[in-house]
Structure 1
Amino acid sequence: MATTAQPPVRFHDFTVPTHDGNHLAATFVEKTDQPANQVVVVCHGLLNTRYSRTVRTLANGIPHNVCLFEFRGNGASTGTTRYTNYDEEAEDLRYVVQYLRNARHCQVRALMGHSKGAAAVFLYTVKYNDVPLVVDVAGRFDMTASPMLRFTKEQQRELDTKGECVWTLFGYGQDVPYIVTAADLAQRAHIDMSVVQQIDFTRVQVLIAHGEEDEVVPVSEGRRFYEMMRRSPTYDPGSDCLTLAPLPHTGHVFSEPHEQQALLAAVNAWLAKRWAQIEGPSLKEQA
């Protein structure tokens, strides 16, 4: 059976400086059959890197140029990360978007985020509303939902008695202690993702893709995002600006080939309907 040759792919590594002195490690994945100035930015999840399985699935599987980067304190990026630095990560995303526009002269046409990275994408979009396509993959809506289930009894005891614990080790060498504090947990409980109802649907279209068998972030969280965004004063129920895509037989980390195929099928079908039709105000402002 004949196969279709894949176009060559080029990888360009670079760093993005932040105003507070950090450097965010990034890779531009250039699909040579695509316009060089059009790009999708993909954000990784908690304590992960630009090489995570879900990020690589999207980078390899969507037919567009992709920029992958690592939030501060993750992977090869400098700085420190925290359990509740959602706003910092949204601003890291801003640095990357602005770098791509100003230094590489790109149109940033889509943002995608997995798990914690989805929160950064949504918080960015609420604040800036300047990237026309947004994809949430398995993001969490309710930040009060049972975080203690993530900790062992000993870790819970340390949180109660010492006010902090080492939750896990992370980093390229898996040797960096990740410290969670009681203050982190209290702060996390006050993160209000209902702000997504402020997304301007005259400028932005959103896809919510969530595995129906996700045991880390239940699919009900995706449905809550969907219902909250429908409350936006700019949401038009007669339009195609908001899509919920539950993914059958699919979990949180997309470790199996059938899960990766399900994610890509949903994302690529959604992109295919919109990519050539998004010459709206947000892209004109990037020109």
Structure 2
Amino acid sequence: MMYDIPHVDLSTKVSKVEWQTRVELAACYRLLVMHGWDDLIYTHVSARIPGTEDLLINAFGLSFEEVTASNLVKIDIDGNIIDPDSPFEINPAGFTIHSAVHHARPEDQCALHLHHSDATAVASSKEGLLPYSQYAAFALASMSYHHYEGLAVDHNEIISLQQDLGSANFMLLRNHGALTMGKTIGDAFMHMYDLLRACEIQVKLQHGAGDVINVNHKVIQGIKAQANIVHTGLTGGQKAWPAMMRRVKRAYPDFDK
């Protein structure tokens, strides 16, 4: 049975800052589809509206290719929907991880969580991510791990998740998936791009490759500053991000409605 998506248009009803955040977050959801990183209606990307404690997240029940700037849901940091007239709901269980990390990292705008198969495979291996590529070196310079404890709804796990994340921008969730943080939506996307490419390369190398050359440990130790230049901020995530948004606009002209 087909169900119509309620039509909303918030383009003239919210602040310019909120609208820009909505457009960029909707673009990020469409990029996940374009890269094949979506998981039906599950997983989330959440973004803080600058200058507020309010967050935006996808409506539960929509596929990522149906996400638009207007149908993103505005919530408080505890997952309560702010607009009582919104026709959409969110997945409260799925938001638990996002609530935890946004509480722990108020300086970051965006949290991106995926169930990508290669990331889950690497997260489920005892050794975790290995220094097999430049992509891995970027991630390993700011990497953390969190052990699987079932659905993240227990308060004690929320605390351990926050402690495990610390100041890292990359996290592998054991037996579960991947999480990246970013000071902007573009930064979080670029971090996830690096992490998933690193995991894809590792899975390929572990299925048929001979001896693998590791990135030197000293290189990884010194690469964090380089990664901050290449993939973070105005010369990093924000340099690539406008091109990514143009790509989305060409593929999905309606995403910013």
TM-score by length of 1: 0.27
Relative contact order higher in (CA < 8 Å, ≥ 6 apart): 2
More strand by share: 1
More helix by share: 2
